[in-house]
Amino acid sequence: MISSKMTLAAALTGVLALGACTDPAEYGGGGNTNDPNQKTKSGALIGAGAGAVIGALSKGDGNRAEGALKGAVLGGALGAGVGYSLDKQEAELRRVMDSRVVITNTGDRLIVTLPQDILFATDSTAVQPALQGDLAALASNVQIYQNSTLQVIGHTDSDGEASYNQQLSEGRARAVANVLINQGVPASRVQTYGRGESQPVASNLNAAGKAQNRRVEIVILPNAR
Protein backbone atom coordinates (compact mmCIF):
# COMPACT_ATOMS: atom_id res chain seq x y z
CA MET A 1 0.00 0.00 0.00
CA ILE A 2 1.26 3.43 -0.84
CA SER A 3 1.59 5.51 2.29
CA SER A 4 -0.38 8.73 2.63
CA LYS A 5 2.86 10.65 3.06
CA MET A 6 4.22 9.32 -0.23
CA THR A 7 0.96 10.15 -1.99
CA LEU A 8 0.87 13.71 -0.72
CA ALA A 9 4.55 14.21 -1.44
CA ALA A 10 4.07 13.06 -5.02
CA ALA A 11 1.03 15.26 -5.50
CA LEU A 12 2.69 18.33 -4.04
CA THR A 13 5.81 17.71 -6.10
CA GLY A 14 3.62 17.71 -9.20
CA VAL A 15 2.14 21.07 -8.30
CA LEU A 16 5.53 22.61 -7.54
CA ALA A 17 6.89 21.32 -10.84
CA LEU A 18 4.17 23.08 -12.82
CA GLY A 19 6.26 26.24 -12.98
CA ALA A 20 8.59 24.34 -15.27
CA CYS A 21 5.70 23.20 -17.45
CA THR A 22 4.71 26.63 -18.70
CA ASP A 23 6.07 27.79 -22.02
CA PRO A 24 9.68 28.97 -21.37
CA ALA A 25 9.41 31.40 -24.27
CA GLU A 26 7.12 33.56 -22.17
CA TYR A 27 9.97 34.15 -19.76
CA GLY A 28 12.74 34.70 -22.25
CA GLY A 29 13.70 31.05 -22.68
CA GLY A 30 13.29 28.65 -25.56
CA GLY A 31 10.16 26.56 -25.81
CA ASN A 32 7.89 25.63 -28.67
CA THR A 33 6.39 29.00 -29.51
CA ASN A 34 4.58 27.52 -32.53
CA ASP A 35 2.48 25.03 -30.56
CA PRO A 36 -1.13 26.31 -30.73
CA ASN A 37 -2.12 23.93 -27.93
CA GLN A 38 0.61 24.97 -25.49
CA LYS A 39 -1.80 26.59 -23.02
CA THR A 40 -4.25 23.68 -23.29
CA LYS A 41 -1.44 21.36 -22.24
CA SER A 42 -0.35 23.70 -19.47
CA GLY A 43 -3.92 23.95 -18.23
CA ALA A 44 -4.18 20.16 -18.10
CA LEU A 45 -0.97 19.90 -16.10
CA ILE A 46 -2.03 22.61 -13.67
CA GLY A 47 -5.43 21.01 -13.22
CA ALA A 48 -3.95 17.54 -12.77
CA GLY A 49 -1.53 18.69 -10.10
CA ALA A 50 -4.13 20.65 -8.17
CA GLY A 51 -6.66 17.84 -8.53
CA ALA A 52 -4.18 15.30 -7.18
CA VAL A 53 -3.61 17.34 -4.04
CA ILE A 54 -7.32 17.99 -3.48
CA GLY A 55 -8.20 14.35 -4.15
CA ALA A 56 -5.57 13.09 -1.74
CA LEU A 57 -6.57 15.46 1.02
CA SER A 58 -10.25 14.58 0.66
CA LYS A 59 -9.65 10.89 1.43
CA GLY A 60 -8.73 9.02 4.57
CA ASP A 61 -5.24 7.69 5.08
CA GLY A 62 -6.04 4.37 3.40
CA ASN A 63 -7.53 5.87 0.25
CA ARG A 64 -5.32 8.87 -0.46
CA ALA A 65 -3.52 7.22 -3.37
CA GLU A 66 -6.86 6.50 -5.04
CA GLY A 67 -8.10 10.00 -4.25
CA ALA A 68 -4.98 11.60 -5.72
CA LEU A 69 -5.32 9.59 -8.93
CA LYS A 70 -8.99 10.41 -9.40
CA GLY A 71 -8.37 14.05 -8.56
CA ALA A 72 -5.53 14.24 -11.07
CA VAL A 73 -7.67 12.78 -13.86
CA LEU A 74 -10.62 15.07 -13.16
CA GLY A 75 -8.45 18.13 -12.59
CA GLY A 76 -6.48 17.46 -15.75
CA ALA A 77 -9.64 17.25 -17.84
CA LEU A 78 -11.04 20.47 -16.38
CA GLY A 79 -7.70 22.26 -16.73
CA ALA A 80 -7.38 21.21 -20.37
CA GLY A 81 -10.85 22.58 -21.03
CA VAL A 82 -9.94 25.94 -19.49
CA GLY A 83 -6.67 26.05 -21.43
CA TYR A 84 -8.39 25.26 -24.72
CA SER A 85 -11.05 27.91 -24.15
CA LEU A 86 -8.39 30.51 -23.33
CA ASP A 87 -6.42 29.59 -26.46
CA LYS A 88 -9.52 30.23 -28.59
CA GLN A 89 -10.41 33.43 -26.78
CA GLU A 90 -6.84 34.73 -27.08
CA ALA A 91 -6.76 34.08 -30.83
CA GLU A 92 -10.07 35.87 -31.32
CA LEU A 93 -8.97 38.88 -29.27
CA ARG A 94 -5.75 39.18 -31.26
CA ARG A 95 -7.78 39.44 -34.45
CA VAL A 96 -9.87 42.37 -33.23
CA MET A 97 -7.63 44.35 -30.86
CA ASP A 98 -5.14 47.12 -31.69
CA SER A 99 -1.69 45.68 -32.34
CA ARG A 100 -0.28 47.86 -29.53
CA VAL A 101 -2.47 46.04 -27.01
CA VAL A 102 -0.52 43.21 -25.37
CA ILE A 103 -2.37 39.94 -24.74
CA THR A 104 -0.71 37.41 -22.43
CA ASN A 105 -2.04 33.88 -21.97
CA THR A 106 -0.68 32.27 -18.80
CA GLY A 107 -2.64 29.04 -19.18
CA ASP A 108 -5.12 29.87 -16.44
CA ARG A 109 -6.00 33.47 -17.37
CA LEU A 110 -5.67 36.13 -20.06
CA ILE A 111 -4.07 39.49 -19.31
CA VAL A 112 -4.94 42.28 -21.75
CA THR A 113 -2.55 45.21 -21.24
CA LEU A 114 -3.63 48.60 -22.58
CA PRO A 115 -0.82 51.18 -22.71
CA GLN A 116 -1.84 54.46 -21.11
CA ASP A 117 -0.38 56.47 -24.00
CA ILE A 118 -3.08 55.17 -26.36
CA LEU A 119 -5.77 54.88 -23.68
CA PHE A 120 -5.72 58.23 -21.85
CA ALA A 121 -4.39 61.73 -22.29
CA THR A 122 -1.96 62.93 -19.62
CA ASP A 123 -3.62 63.23 -16.19
CA SER A 124 -6.96 62.24 -17.71
CA THR A 125 -9.41 59.46 -16.82
CA ALA A 126 -11.42 59.82 -20.05
CA VAL A 127 -10.86 56.90 -22.43
CA GLN A 128 -9.66 58.22 -25.78
CA PRO A 129 -12.03 57.66 -28.75
CA ALA A 130 -9.44 55.57 -30.62
CA LEU A 131 -9.62 52.85 -27.95
CA GLN A 132 -13.38 52.82 -27.55
CA GLY A 133 -13.71 50.40 -30.47
CA ASP A 134 -11.13 48.02 -29.01
CA LEU A 135 -12.89 47.98 -25.65
CA ALA A 136 -16.20 47.36 -27.43
CA ALA A 137 -14.61 44.40 -29.23
CA LEU A 138 -13.27 43.06 -25.94
CA ALA A 139 -16.72 43.47 -24.35
CA SER A 140 -18.29 41.47 -27.18
CA ASN A 141 -15.66 38.76 -26.77
CA VAL A 142 -16.12 38.31 -23.02
CA GLN A 143 -19.90 38.15 -23.50
CA ILE A 144 -19.33 35.12 -25.73
CA TYR A 145 -16.98 33.58 -23.16
CA GLN A 146 -19.28 34.23 -20.24
CA ASN A 147 -17.74 32.01 -17.58
CA SER A 148 -15.14 34.48 -16.33
CA THR A 149 -14.53 37.42 -14.03
CA LEU A 150 -12.78 40.58 -15.25
CA GLN A 151 -10.31 42.41 -13.04
CA VAL A 152 -9.56 45.90 -14.37
CA ILE A 153 -6.32 47.16 -12.79
CA GLY A 154 -4.88 50.67 -13.23
CA HIS A 155 -1.14 51.41 -12.97
CA THR A 156 0.97 54.59 -13.21
CA ASP A 157 4.63 55.52 -13.32
CA SER A 158 6.34 57.13 -10.33
CA ASP A 159 6.12 60.77 -11.46
CA GLY A 160 4.21 62.95 -9.01
CA GLU A 161 2.86 62.20 -5.56
CA ALA A 162 2.11 58.56 -4.74
CA SER A 163 -1.34 59.48 -3.38
CA TYR A 164 -2.24 61.27 -6.61
CA ASN A 165 -1.01 58.33 -8.69
CA GLN A 166 -3.12 55.97 -6.60
CA GLN A 167 -6.25 58.03 -7.22
CA LEU A 168 -5.44 58.36 -10.93
CA SER A 169 -4.99 54.59 -11.29
CA GLU A 170 -8.30 53.96 -9.55
CA GLY A 171 -10.10 56.48 -11.75
CA ARG A 172 -8.66 55.00 -14.92
CA ALA A 173 -9.61 51.46 -13.90
CA ARG A 174 -13.18 52.61 -13.25
CA ALA A 175 -13.28 54.44 -16.60
CA VAL A 176 -12.28 51.31 -18.52
CA ALA A 177 -14.68 49.17 -16.50
CA ASN A 178 -17.52 51.59 -17.24
CA VAL A 179 -16.90 51.31 -20.98
CA LEU A 180 -17.09 47.52 -20.75
CA ILE A 181 -20.27 47.67 -18.66
CA ASN A 182 -21.86 50.19 -21.03
CA GLN A 183 -21.06 47.77 -23.86
CA GLY A 184 -23.09 45.05 -22.16
CA VAL A 185 -20.72 43.26 -19.78
CA PRO A 186 -22.63 42.59 -16.53
CA ALA A 187 -21.31 44.76 -13.71
CA SER A 188 -21.30 41.68 -11.47
CA ARG A 189 -18.47 40.26 -13.56
CA VAL A 190 -16.23 43.34 -13.35
CA GLN A 191 -13.91 44.27 -10.48
CA THR A 192 -11.72 47.39 -10.42
CA TYR A 193 -8.42 48.03 -8.65
CA GLY A 194 -5.91 50.86 -8.58
CA ARG A 195 -2.27 49.98 -7.93
CA GLY A 196 -0.80 53.45 -8.45
CA GLU A 197 2.96 53.28 -8.88
CA SER A 198 3.39 50.20 -6.67
CA GLN A 199 3.67 47.52 -9.37
CA PRO A 200 6.05 48.69 -12.11
CA VAL A 201 6.99 46.30 -14.89
CA ALA A 202 10.00 48.37 -15.99
CA SER A 203 12.38 51.01 -14.65
CA ASN A 204 10.94 54.40 -13.72
CA LEU A 205 14.35 55.98 -14.37
CA ASN A 206 13.82 56.47 -18.10
CA ALA A 207 11.01 57.47 -20.45
CA ALA A 208 10.67 54.05 -22.08
CA GLY A 209 10.26 52.33 -18.74
CA LYS A 210 7.74 54.88 -17.50
CA ALA A 211 5.67 54.38 -20.65
CA GLN A 212 5.47 50.63 -19.92
CA ASN A 213 4.43 51.27 -16.32
CA ARG A 214 1.54 53.54 -17.34
CA ARG A 215 -1.08 50.96 -18.23
CA VAL A 216 -4.43 49.37 -17.50
CA GLU A 217 -4.57 45.59 -17.30
CA ILE A 218 -7.75 43.60 -17.86
CA VAL A 219 -7.31 40.17 -16.30
CA ILE A 220 -9.80 37.58 -17.60
CA LEU A 221 -10.14 34.88 -14.93
CA PRO A 222 -12.17 31.75 -15.79
CA ASN A 223 -14.57 30.88 -13.00
CA ALA A 224 -14.58 27.46 -11.38
CA ARG A 225 -17.27 25.32 -12.96
Q: How far, in Å, are 11, 13, 22, 28 from residue 17 at the CA level?
A: 10, 6, 10, 19
- The model's pLDDT over 174-201, given as tens digits with 9 standing for 90+, comes to 999 999 999 999 999 999 999 999 999 9
Mean pLDDT of 146-158: 97
Question: What band does 206 get if pLDDT is binned at 50, 70 and 90?
Answer: very high
Question: What band does 91 get if pLDDT is binned at 50, 70 and 90?
Answer: very high
Give pLDDT, residue 89: 97
Give pLDDT, residue 83: 73
Over 50: is that where the pLDDT of 161 sits? Answer: yes
User: What values do phi and psi take at 58, rounded to 5?
Assistant: -80, -10
CB 105 within 8 A of CB 39: yes
CB 142 within 8 A of CB 185: yes
Give pLDDT, residue 84: 83
Mean pLDDT of 131-139: 95
> CA dihedral in degrees (130, 119, 219, 108; nearest 10)?
70
pTM beyond cutoff 0.85: no
Question: What band does 30 get if pLDDT is binned at 50, 70 and 90?
Answer: very low
SS3 19: helix
- The model's pLDDT over 54-87, given as tens digits with 9 standing for 90+, comes to 555 555 555 666 555 555 444 444 444 567 899 9
